[in-house]
A and B are shown apart, each in its own frame.
Chain A
Amino acid sequence: MNFSKDLVAASATPLVLAILAEGDSYGYAILKRVRELSGGRLQWTDGMLYPVLHRLDRLGYVKTRWETSRSGRRRKYYRISRRGREQLEVQRRQWQVVDGILRDLWFERSSAPGQPLLQES
Chain B
Amino acid sequence: MSSSGRQREALEGQIAEWRAYLRRRRAIFSPDVEELESHLRDQVKALADAGLAPDEAFLVAVKRMGSLDALSREFAREHSDRLWKQLVLVNGETGEPGRSGFVETAVAVCVAAAAALAVKAPELFGHSQIGYGDGFYPRNISLLVLPLLTGFFLWKRRTLDLRCLWLALPFVVAALFINLLPFKPGGHTEVLAALHLPIALWLAVGAAYAGGRWNSTGGRMDFIRFSGELFIYYVLIALGGGVLTAFTGVMFKAIGLDVEWLAEGWLLPCGAAGAVIIGAWLVEAKQSVIENMAPVLTRLFTPLFTAVLLAFLATMAWTGSGIDVKREVLIGFDLLLALVLGLLLYAVSARDPKSPPDAFDVLQFVLVVSALVVDLLALAAIGTRISEFGFSPNRVAALGENLILLVNLGWSAWIYGRFLLGRGSFLALERWQTAYLPVYAVWAGFVAVGFPPLFDYA
- Chain A residues packing against B (C-beta within 8 Å): 26-28, 31-32, 45-48, 50-51, 54-55, 58, 73-76
Contact = CB atoms under 8 A, between A and B. Distances in A.
Contacts of A32: 46
A50 B36 contact: yes
B35 A47 contact: no
A47 B40 CA distance: 9
Please list the 10 inter-chain residue pairs (A to B) with the smallest Cβ-Cβ separation, ordered nearest first. A45-B66, A28-B42, A51-B74, A47-B71, A47-B66, A51-B78, A47-B65, A46-B64, A28-B39, A46-B65
Q: Which of B35, B41, B61, B74 has the most CB of A within 10 A?
A: B35
A27 B74 contact: no
Given A46-B43, A54-B79, A74 B64 contact: no
Contact of A51 (B41, B61, B64, B75): B75
Nearest to B42: A28
A45 B35 contact: no
B38 interface: yes
B34 interface: yes
B43 A45 contact: no
Contact of B39 (A27, A54, A55, A74): A27
Contacts of B41: 73
Contacts of B79: 54
25 contacts: A26-B38, A27-B35, A28-B39, A45-B65, A46-B39, A46-B61, A46-B65, A47-B36, A47-B65, A47-B66, A48-B71, A48-B74, A50-B32, A50-B35, A50-B36, A50-B39, A51-B74, A51-B77, A54-B78, A55-B78, A58-B78, A73-B38, A73-B41, A75-B38, A76-B34
Contacts of A50: 32, 35-36, 39, 71, 75
A32 B45 CA distance: 13
Contacts of B65: 45-47
Nearest to A55: B78
Contact of A76 (B38, B42, B66): B38
Interface in B12-47: 31-32, 34-36, 38-39, 41-43, 46
Nearest to A30: B39
Nearest to A43: B64
A76 B42 CA distance: 13
Instruction: Say whether chain B's binding surface is mostly helix, strand, loop, or mixed.
Output: helix
A26 B42 CA distance: 11
Given A47-B66, A54-B78, 4 more contacts: A47-B68, A51-B75, A76-B31, A76-B38
A31 B66 CA distance: 14
B15 to A, nearest CB: 12
Nearest to B35: A76
A56 to B, nearest CB: 10
A73 B45 CA distance: 13
A10 to B, nearest CB: 15
Contact of A28 (B31, B34, B43, B71): B43
Contacts of A76: 31, 34-35, 38
Given A54-B79, A58-B78, A76-B31, A48 B66 contact: yes
A38 B352 CA distance: 47
B40 to A, nearest CB: 8
B48 to A, nearest CB: 14
Contacts of A27: 35, 38-39
Nearest to A49: B39
A61 to B, nearest CB: 14
Interface string B59-90: 00100111010110011011100000000000
Nearest to A28: B42
Nearest to A32: B46
B38 A74 contact: yes
B214 to A, nearest CB: 39
Nearest to A69: B38
Contacts of A31: 39
Contacts of A54: 32, 75, 78-79
